[in-house]
């Protein structure tokens, strides 16, 4: 058995990224900060991008441990990959609800929460939450053997909250809190298919929430592309909509809310989205409002 410590920790799981690739299981990478495709539009494999080096590695006493990645994130990813395979299967369709049932929803919602908190740019939110709240607000409490909190326990909690490694693990704990909150909630959902000939597009910020500020995945409406031609909506039943138009709005918002990287199977699609944005919008807020107005 290998004792090698993993270091390539994907904040977007490889199985998820594979849903947005071309027939060769590859895509191009567009850098939104530089407004250009990396290496002149070279194709890359999903494992090549959307990861942090040692993003989930815990360091203690100069010893590295990847248990957070291998025992928690990877375990959850493997479970959800099975569900995604069902949804993306050629025999899955609207009539059989893409082989997804209400019993699958707690795991799917947990995955969405996990995706949200593991994105690197969420670190500022996590830091803010820990700085503004006590651990007891999250069901954690540092007490002595008599169940009391004296100055020593208060100091221990302060050190824990300020510990970089504790904050790494706290992003997974936040997703668990979301799961507990959702025990009694039912999840209205819709899955649609979009034309397979349309390009695949993803970004380092691929989730769309109606409530953009620290959303609640068990209460708030959200949209998660499952793959290039499957889209999941967590929403109450609403009016019908034009699939092509909704797909275009979703891809546009995912592109425009990207922090650094966008994957795409067709270079021309980025220019099409840019032209669409310039002709119709002045902010991502406008895209979001139009999108949810059309599907609600």
1 assigned to some structural domain: no
Total number of domains constituting the chain:
1
pTM (global) more than 0.75: yes
Would residue 2 count as lying in a domain? no
Contact by Cβ (8 Å): 185, 236: no
47, 150 Cβ separation under 8 angstroms: no
Q: Is residue 37 part of a domain?
A: yes
Domain interval for residue 134: 8-295
Residue pair 170/157 in contact (Cβ under 8 Å)? The answer is: no
Q: Which two tokens stand for residue 161?
A: 């909250």
Q: How far apart are CA 123 and CA 125, in angstroms?
A: 5
> Which sign does the torsion angle of CA 225, 43, 85, 52 carry?
negative
What is the tens place of the pLDDT at every residue in 181-193? Answer: 666 666 778 888 9
Residue 183 lies in a domain: yes
Question: Does the residue 3 lie in any domain?
Answer: no
- Tell me if 221 is assigned to some domain: yes
Q: Is residue 274 domain-resident? A: yes
pLDDT in tens, 236-282: 666 678 899 999 999 999 999 999 999 999 999 999 999 999 999 99
For residues 192 and 243, the answer to whether their CB atoms sit within 8 Å is: yes
Region for 80 from its dihedrals, namely left if φ exceeds 0, alpha if ψ lies in -120 to 50, beta otherwise: alpha
Contacts (Cβ under 8 Å, ≥6 apart) of 32: 255, 258, 259, 260, 261, 262
| Token pair of 173 as six digits | 């704990």
């Amino acid at each position: 058995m290998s004792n090698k410590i993993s270091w390539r920790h994907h904040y977007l799981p490889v199985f998820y990224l594979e849903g947005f690739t071309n027939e060769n299981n590859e895509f191009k990478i567009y850098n939104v900060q530089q407004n250009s495709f990396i290496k002149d539009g070279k194709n890359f494999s999903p494992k090549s991008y959307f990861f942090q080096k040692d993003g989930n590695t815990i360091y203690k006493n100069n010893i590295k441990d990847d248990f957070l990645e291998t025992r928690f994130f990877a375990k959850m990813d493997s479970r959800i990959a099975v569900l995604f395979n069902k949804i993306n299967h050629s025999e899955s369709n609207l009539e059989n609800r893409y082989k997804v049932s209400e019993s699958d929803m707690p795991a799917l919602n947990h995955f969405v929460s996990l995706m949200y908190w593991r994105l690197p740019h969420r670190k500022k939110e996590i830091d803010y939450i820990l700085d503004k709240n006590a651990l007891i607000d999250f069901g954690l409490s540092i007490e002595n053997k008599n169940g009391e909190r004296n100055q020593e326990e208060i100091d221990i909690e302060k050190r824990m909250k300020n510990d970089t490694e504790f904050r790494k693990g706290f992003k997974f704990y936040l997703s668990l809190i979301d799961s507990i909150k959702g025990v009694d909630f039912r999840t209205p959902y819709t899955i649609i298919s979009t034309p397979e000939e349309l390009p695949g597009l993803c970004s380092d910020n691929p989730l769309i929430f109606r409530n953009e500020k620290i959303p609640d995945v068990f209460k708030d409406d959200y949209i998660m592309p499952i793959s290039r031609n499957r889209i999941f909506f967590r929403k109450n039943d609403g009016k019908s909509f034009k699939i092509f138009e909704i797909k275009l709005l979703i891809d546009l918002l995912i592109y425009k809310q990207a922090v650094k990287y966008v994957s795409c199977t067709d270079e021309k699609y980025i220019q099409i989205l840019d032209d669409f944005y310039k002709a119709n919008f002045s902010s991502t807020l406008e895209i979001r409002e139009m999108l949810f107005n059309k599907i609600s």
